[in-house]
Amino acid sequence: MPDARPATVGELRRTEYRVVPVRAELRRNLIRRLAGGDSLFDGILGYEDSVIPQLENAILAGQDLILLGERGQAKSRLLRGLCSLLDDAIPAIAGCEINDDPYNPLCKRCRELVAESGDDNEVSWLSPDMRYAEKLATPDTSIADLIGEVDPIRVAQGRYLSDELTIHYGLIPRTHRGIFAINELPDLAERIQVGLLNIIEERDVQIRGYRLRLPL
């Protein structure tokens, strides 16, 4: 990463950097691409008058995306192409498992760091490839894989179950402030599909009684 980028929360504040939701980031960069006449999905042919305009409309409207089609129709490639609409880099609190916003941390570790060190906390910069995660749904995929679970090792080390630091986050929270894609959604067990629906509708992540509100 270039040395010119702020290394602490305080330095970031002095640049007047604003954190925006991922949807707003995608929308802003899509508008720039469209205004410049740039192609959104390089190497994908045949969807210029059908699928791609629908994707563009969904991004402009800030919607979640479900791509329906047979295998081999470039659904995954289309989703990976969305990374081109992410900023070159965004700041997060260094070492955070869920890429916390430097100004508004959500996890307990980062809240404690901010309470202790304030603007002296270190900032790391996340590139687009670090902000994309993809999971192939299989019948044995669990809620722990996607959302999270209590880590028994952390409990064995002496932490109480009531301590939020016992949480081991799954793929979805770890892709917080990025793009998460799941392939072959119907292959998931129905109860897990219901759990994902709750996340999409309520932005409510529940891990063994812990309730986290993430602007996913």
Q: What digits encode the pLDDT tens for the residues 135-194?
A: 999 888 988 899 888 887 887 887 776 677 788 889 999 999 999 999 988 888 888 888
- Is 3 a member of any domain? no
State residue 58 phi and psi, 5-degree precision.
-65, -40
Domain count along the chain? 1
At 102, list the tokens: 């430097």
Round to whole Å and give the CA distance between 148 and 172.
8
Nearest residue to 171 (alpha-carbon basis) of 152, 194, 144: 144
- Is 100 a member of any domain? yes
Nearest residue to 87 (alpha-carbon basis) of 176, 36, 20, 42: 20
pLDDT digits over 20-78, tens only? Answer: 999 999 999 999 999 998 888 878 888 888 899 999 999 999 988 889 988 888 898 99
CATH code of 33's domain? 3.40.50.300
* Comparison of pLDDT for 29 and 200, the residue scoring more: 29
Per-residue confidence (pLDDT) for residue 191, from 0 to 100: 84
- Is 52 a member of any domain? yes
Q: Are 75 and 69 in contact (CB under 8 A)?
A: yes
- Is 186 a member of any domain? yes
What value does the mean pLDDT take over residues 3-8?
Answer: 87
36 CB-near residues (< 8 Å, 6+ apart): none
Give helix 22-35 / helix 51-61 axis angle, nearest 10°.
130
- Is 1 a member of any domain? no
Round to whole Å and give the CA distance between 76 and 62.
19
Round to whole Å and give the CA distance between 41 and 55.
11
Q: pTM of the predicted model, to two decimals? A: 0.85
- Is 128 a member of any domain? yes
Per-residue confidence (pLDDT) for residue 1, from 0 to 100: 45
Round to whole Å and give the CA distance between 171 and 120.
29
- Is 32 a member of any domain? yes
Q: Range of 90's domain?
A: 9-213
Residue that is written with structure tokens 């081999």 in the block: 72
